[in-house]
Structure 1
Amino acid sequence: MNISNQTTEEEDETKPLWRYVSKLRKTPGGGNNMIKCSSCDFSFNGSYTRVRAHLLRITGEELEFFKKLDNEASLKIEYLKKKKVPLPHVSDEGKQTNNNDLNPKLKGSLQAAFNIQGRDTVDCAVARMFYSSGLPFHLARNPYYRNAFSVATNTSNLSGYVPPTYNKLRGPLLSKERRHVENLLQPIRNSWNQKGVTIVSDGWSDPQRRPLINFMAITESGPMFLKSVDGSGEIKDKDFIAKHIRDVIMEVGPKNVVQIITDNASVCKAVGMLIELEFPSIYWTPCVVHTLNLALKNICAAKNTEKNSDTYQQCSWISQIADDATFIKTFIMGHFMRLSMFNNFNSLKLLSVASTRFASTTVMLKRFRSLKKGLQEMVINNEWSSYKEDNVDSAQFVKETLLNDNWWMKVDYILAFTTPIYDVLRKTDTDMATLHLVYEMWDSMIENVKKVIKLILIDRWTKSSTSLHCLAHSLNPRYYSHEWLSEDSHRVAPHLDKELTQERKKCFIRYFDDVVVRRQVNIKFANFSDGREDFDDADSLNDRVIFVFSQGTPHITKKRKLNYGILQEMTFHWMTMEFSILLAYLLMNQN
């Protein structure tokens, strides 16, 4: 007997109805036995399903049923049956007609016209479905939920309609819906060869702790899910990940893919090198948000290593402040009475920030700063000191820390010098295209931080920047405007910057193998940067002023469960510019 069959039999023995029958002997075929009913002495061959059908008198299974069960056994078995709980009683008046001053004849007419009693019954039945299945109440706000009932009530000839069954929902209806969605997405697929695609990949774990790798295609039309790979039992090395990215590239079309975006893990960097080697026109770009988060971790949780000794010496105190804040939060949230005291003095809540969230330390300290007044009022209240049921020493430490001005000064200092990094992280962690802003954001951020922090950021930028960032920066009209250049005397236009020019040339060489085509692109770029020929009209020159104001403050949205920081580094914003439309045209026709 194999392990699965043995486990099934052991679980089967625990079921409640076995106590009313006796197993005579094992019979061939599956888990069948010769079984004798203890109440009626009837013998039959079968499994627990047959026992249940016999004892509970379930019809429709072509079994012989008897009524010789004694009263005690019958009562116990009846108790095991699922009871159908009746709906709440609906009065004749209905909940909408409780006005006693209403004329009885008119009241009856309204009830008949609007079938108020029937509506109340349906409401109770729908509510019962929610309560019995544990469905969240916000499901009632789903427009498709409301639309389903509207369709059912407004469609004629639906008398006797029965909702789809479990198997129908998970089978044919699901397949039909998927085919419909794929048809809706087909226009986006058709635009890939014209506008290009960024392929985004990120790993996560589902509620069953299965390691999954998502693949999405990003265009200016928005993100489109391609597939998810289950990595259970696999070694997630560079060859495994590169194989699946290669499959996605072939599915999308190598000529349609502009770049691959992943996080900054060493294995992903190795994957990027393999992909760039096999597909020279495709860039691997590390996630900017993930890079900034690693920089913040280097600062707020510096490790004491030989290579990191200077940073650790300058920043190790930050870890102690973060640990103190974590201890205070854990102490308050871990004791009911302390949490009750906290709620009495604060309208905001303490955040349980997951370590996997970007800028987790900064987010936690910003919330502490917002709660400073309420936290101090809480610990100086007599109730805090008089409560002795938990760890008094810990409570005293919390009180002393929250009343320590020097501790709060350190919190303010941490938030002050990490603000430039945090602001850039928030601006790039959105559902907007930000690749054309990244180069300038990094440059301004590095100039606005302390020396030791500057070295960390420069190191991270050197590891994560690509020539694609430089090309995107060069194609943004904002950086040619007089308004932007006059903000800082050290600023120069992108076409006059030596570093940008070198990286831009590298990008053109990778995209355009044909020397003649590349010469045309260089001429067009020169006209674009100098505002000549096709780019000297009033609209094109006015765009340079508009871009200064329209792109100064990107829209900030809430963090999505999926890593949207990775998704935002799209190249397709510059496809909307006149020069980039020409660039896309040349890409399509260079062969």
Structure 2
Amino acid sequence: MGQYKRQKQCADGKKQKQDDADRKLAMFFFHNSIPFSAAKSMYYQDMVDAIAQCGVGYKAPTYEKLRIGSLAVFSVACPKGTLFLKSVDVSGHEDDSNCLFELLESVVLEVGLENVVQVMTDVSAGYVCAGRLLTARYSFLFWSPCVAYCIDKMLEDIGRQDWVSTVLEDAKTITQYIYSHAWILNIMKKFTGGKELIRPKITTFVTDFLSLRSIVMQEDNLKHMFSHSEWLSSMYSRRPDAQAIKSLLYSDRFWKHGHEAVSVSEPLVKLLRMVDGDMPAMG
């Protein structure tokens, strides 16, 4: 009997740790607007296994460490869809057009000249020059800058305007608060008819604008929620962080700038979602 009890306690403790780990993983997805479909990635479980093998005390790479490296990611668009081909570390060579040209050429030859119609890259000077060198050598190839990348950079520039940056941060504060508490998230969905505020991750800036748009569309429902008796009688309503969110939702400045930011960004967001879909770029 004593052995059974110890085994049960051990099993319960293991399950508690598993549940805690699952919650923290889910929180990471929520806070960073990462779609749950990312868990289907072939690298997802590999990442978790590698962390587990490091054991207690593992420190995840910092923002600075992650951004120092520069990867060139190659994908191939074909009748079956867009497929990942490979990634190459180009750290230190991002502006070396000759190096990038040789890399692009090697990938084209790997895929097969007869199979390649168009090469698309971002619009950095190194890649623009490399693309021109590639089409100069292989005149039957087309090179073009990535439209999605160009539009995302335009949204990034808009997002850097002081008033737009402020309203995007305010919107992020609202979503982070709501999605950090299961009860608040459930009551929010009750008032929005099941609609979400956080949108699937496309790019950082388009996702921020889409989330702001969702909040603007739910303006009346969110205000109703925070003035409803069900909310006012809850333990959350009396907390300082909840009061700050409520003040934000009743701020004329927030809604004025929110509507303006959505109006300015909407055409670009629609275009980006169109070109970032599964339709082929040519043919």
Q: TM-score band (shorter)?
A: 0.5 to 0.7
Specify the alignment match of 1:404 in structure 2: 251
1:363 is aligned to 210
Q: Which residue of 1 aligns with 2:131?
A: 272
Three-state SS of the structure 2 residue aligned to 1:359 is: helix
C-alpha distance in structure 1 between counterparts of 2:119 and 2:90, whole Å: 25
Given the alignment, which residue of 325, 329, 333 partners 2:175? 329
- CA change 1:257–1:333 in 2 (3 A) is closer
Of residues 190, 196, 221, the one that matches 1:344 is: 190
2:88 to 216, 224, 231: 231
Query: 1:217 Cα shift?
Result: 4.7
**Post-superposition shift, 1:377?**
1.1
- 1:376 is matched with 223
Confirm or deny that 1:261 pairs with 2:139. no
**Conserved in 1, the CA contact under 8 Å of 2:168 and 2:212?**
yes
Tell me how far 1:422 sits from its aligned partner: 2.3
- State the SS of the aligned residue for 1:293: helix
Aligned amino acid, residue 281 of structure 2: E
Aligned to 1:569: 281
In 1, Cα distance between equivalents of 2:218 and 2:143 = 42
Q: Does 1:290 align with 2:124?
A: no
CA apart distance, 1:365: 1.5
What is the correspondence of 1:42-81 to structure 2 with a 5 Å cutoff? none
Distance in 2 between the 1:260 and 1:402 partners?
A: 46
- Whole-Å Cα distance in 2 between the matches of residues 320 and 233 of structure 1? 35
Deviation at 1:408, TM superposition (A): 1.7
Alpha-carbon separation, structure 2, partners of 1:253 and 1:338: 54
Aligned CA distance change for structure 1 residues 252 and 417 (closer, same or farther; 3 Å)? same
RMSD, aligned CA: 3.7
How far did residue 294 of structure 1 move?
A: 1.1
Looking at structure 1, the residues matched to 202 and 112 of structure 2 have their Cα atoms a distance apart, in angstroms, of 37
Asked if 2 retains the 8 angstrom alpha-carbon contact of 1:259 and 1:282, the reply is yes
Distance 1:281 1:340, change over 3 A: closer
* C-alpha deviation, 1:391, in angstroms: 8.0
Matched, 1:319 2:144: no
Amino acid paired to 1:339: L
Query: What letter corresponds to residue 343 of structure 1 in structure 2?
Result: K
- Cα deviation, residue 298, structure 1: 0.7
Instruction: For 2:76, give the aligned amino acid.
Output: M
**Structure 1: how far apart are the matches of 2:142 and 2:90?**
30
What are the equivalent positions in structure 2 for 1:9-20 lying under 5 Å apart? none
Change (3 A) 1:386 1:248: same
Whether the 8 Å contact between 1:345 and 1:374 is mirrored in structure 2 is yes
Taking the aligned partners of 1:287 and 1:212, their CA distance within structure 2 comes to 14
1:403-452 Cα shifts (integer Å, max 9, x gaps) = 234422322222222222223223323333xxxxxxxxxxxxxxxxxxxx
Distance 2:115 2:72 in 1: 25
Say whether the 8 Å CA contact 2:151–2:272 is kept in structure 1: yes
Aligned positions of 1:7-406 closer than 5 A: 206-207=43-44, 208=46, 213-218=73-78, 221=79, 223=81, 225=83, 228-231=85-88, 237=94, 238=96, 241-254=100-113, 257-300=116-159, 302=160, 315-347=161-193, 348-351=195-198, 353-354=200-201, 356-357=203-204, 359-388=206-235, 392-406=239-253
What do the CA deviations read for 1:204-253 (whole angstroms, capped 9, x no partner)?
A: 994356968334154xx56475x723536976645665444312323455
Relative to structure 1, is the Cα distance of residues 278 and 332 closer, same or farther in structure 2, using a 3 angstrom cutoff? same
**3-state SS of 1:318 partner:** helix
**Which is helix-richer, 1 or 2?**
2
In the superposition, relative to structure 1, how do residues 391 and 328 fare at CA in structure 2: closer, same or farther (>3 Å)? farther
Cα distance in 1 between the residues matched to 2:184 and 2:114: 61
For structure 2, the 5+ residue unaligned runs are 8-40, 51-70
Where does structure 1 lack aligned partners over 5 or more consecutive residues?
A: 1-74, 80-203, 303-314, 433-567, 573-591
What TM-score, normalized to structure 1?
0.33
Separation (CA, whole Å) in 1 of partners of 2:228 and 2:213:
24
Shift of 1:280: 4.0
Distance 2:156 2:72 in 1: 25
Alpha-carbon distance between aligned partners in 2 of 1:233 and 1:274, rounded to the nearest angstrom = 18
Q: 1:367, CA displacement in angstroms? A: 1.2
Query: Are residues 256 and 338 of structure 1, via their aligned partners in 2, closer, same or farther at CA, if it must alter by over 3 Å?
Result: closer
Partner AA of 1:290 in structure 2: Y
Larger RCO of the pair (alpha carbons < 8 Å, separation 6+): 2
Partner of residue 67, structure 1: none
Q: CA separation in 2, counterparts of 1:353 and 1:223? A: 20
Aligned to 2:33: none
Q: Percent identity?
A: 23
Residue identity opposite 1:323 in structure 2: E
How many residues align structurally?
220
Maintained 8 Å contact 2:179/2:185: yes
Q: Identify which range, 382-391 or 330-339, moves more after superposition.
A: 382-391
Structure of higher CA gyration radius: 1
Q: How far did 1:292 drift?
A: 0.9
What is the distance in 2 between the residues matched to 1:212 and 1:276? 19
> TM-score normalised to the size of structure 2?
0.63
1:212, 1:228 within 8 Å by CA — same for their partners in 2?
no
- In structure 2, relative to structure 1, the CA distance for the partners of 1:407 and 1:233 (3 Å cut) is closer
Do the aligned residues in 2 keep the contact of 1:260 with 1:284 (CA within 8 Å)? yes
How far off is 1:321 after superposition? 0.6
Structure 2 Cα separation of the partners of residues 244 and 338 of structure 1: 50
